[in-house]
């Protein structure tokens, strides 16, 4: 299949490279001309185990390309992934300006049917907003907007993409659904599921998953703090908890709190969404408070 990936950050580059690995023709688009030139010269701009090998193989075999020309990439492609940044605003909401700006540009380019996929982590209702922007310039028959959240972990992102636990696809279009199944079938041959659902549920799934994992981390930090006061060993408690099949061993390690590029902004964004709908998400607010306080706990112990 012919694919364009708009944005060559962490998610975009892993996505484009892994799709090329299964025989697709992939064009990655970025506005940073210097970065594009480096990639054309064989330089991988991020470090991710296993990515460089796939990058080199697929560029040599003429399946993976790089350009700054959005129109050219779109005209050569049937499927367009939007893998653009959604940084947090001052109020905690996700900034959709990059995605909506590209959607507006696509409205000037598209002349035949395309599937446009939100790969970025975006709040509930984003697929509808992208569709609305496109509809200002295009007939609805020329596009479908799909939500396809990523669940990639830094350090094992290539394996996560090639052998996913599950694939979540949000669409109400049968035409888009058939193309998405064809696209992802090579990655789920061992029987892992592709979950089709509506766009809003797919968007919520990503936030719910990350927020739950952040909640586990904050909970375990609270347990660790209490263990210190009562004289219990939190590592023993963690092992005892994690051996319960209903709980599992992952994300039960106490420390200075969660961080990184995803958890803080995703928890904030979900709380912001709840506030927009006048829902008081008490648990997640507590999770954020615990995480903020946890940053000072270690320094006090030292």
Q: Where are the alpha helices (DSSP H) in 193-262?
A: 199-230, 234-242
Q: Which residues are catalytic?
A: 262
Q: How far apart (Å, rounded) are the C-alpha atoms in residues 99 and 145?
A: 12
167: left (phi over 0), alpha (psi -120 to 50) or beta: beta
Strands 167-170 and 194-197: parallel
Q: How far apart (Å, rounded) are the C-alpha atoms in residues 288 and 156?
A: 26
Q: Looking at the DSSP assignment, which residues form a beta bridge with residue 2?
A: 25
Q: Is 102 exposed, middle or buried (0-12, 13-18, 19+ CB in 10 A)?
A: buried
**Closest by alpha carbon to 270, among 191, 214, 196?**
214
Q: How far apart (Å, rounded) are the C-alpha atoms in residues 161 and 154?
A: 11
């Amino acid at each position: 299949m012919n694919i364009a990936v708009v944005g060559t950050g962490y998610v975009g580059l892993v996505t484009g490279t892994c799709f090329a690995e299964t025989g697709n023709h992939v064009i990655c688009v970025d506005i940073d001309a210097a970065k594009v030139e480096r990639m054309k010269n064989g330089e991988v701009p991020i470090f991710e185990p296993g990515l460089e090998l796939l990058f080199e193989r697929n560029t040599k075999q003429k399946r993976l390309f790089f350009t700054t020309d959005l129109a050219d990439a779109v005209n050569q492609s049937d499927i367009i992934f939007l893998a653009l940044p959604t940084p947090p605003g001052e109020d905690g909401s996700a900034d959709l300006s990059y995605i909506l700006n590209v959607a507006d540009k696509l409205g000037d380019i598209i002349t035949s049917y395309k599937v446009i996929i939100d790969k970025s982590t975006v709040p509930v209702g984003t697929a509808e907003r992208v569709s609305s922007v496109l509809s200002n310039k295009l007939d609805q028959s020329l596009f479908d907007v799909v939500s396809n959240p990523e669940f990639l972990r830094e350090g094992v992102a290539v394996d996560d993409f090639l052998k996913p636990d599950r694939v979540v696809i949000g669409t109400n279009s049968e035409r888009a659904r058939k193309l998405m199944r064809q696209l992802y079938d090579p990655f789920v041959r061992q029987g892992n599921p592709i979950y089709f659902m509506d766009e809003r549920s797919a968007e919520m799934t990503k936030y719910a998953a990350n927020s739950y994992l952040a909640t586990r981390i904050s909970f375990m930090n609270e347990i660790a703090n209490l263990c210190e006061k009562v004289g219990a060993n939190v590592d023993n408690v963690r092992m005892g908890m994690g051996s319960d099949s209903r709980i599992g061993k992952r994300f039960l390690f106490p420390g200075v709190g969660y961080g990184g590029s995803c958890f803080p902004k995703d928890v904030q964004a979900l709380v912001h969404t709840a506030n927009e709908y006048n829902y008081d998400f008490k648990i997640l607010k507590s999770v954020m408070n615990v995480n903020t306080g946890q940053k000072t706990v270690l320094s006090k112990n030292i």
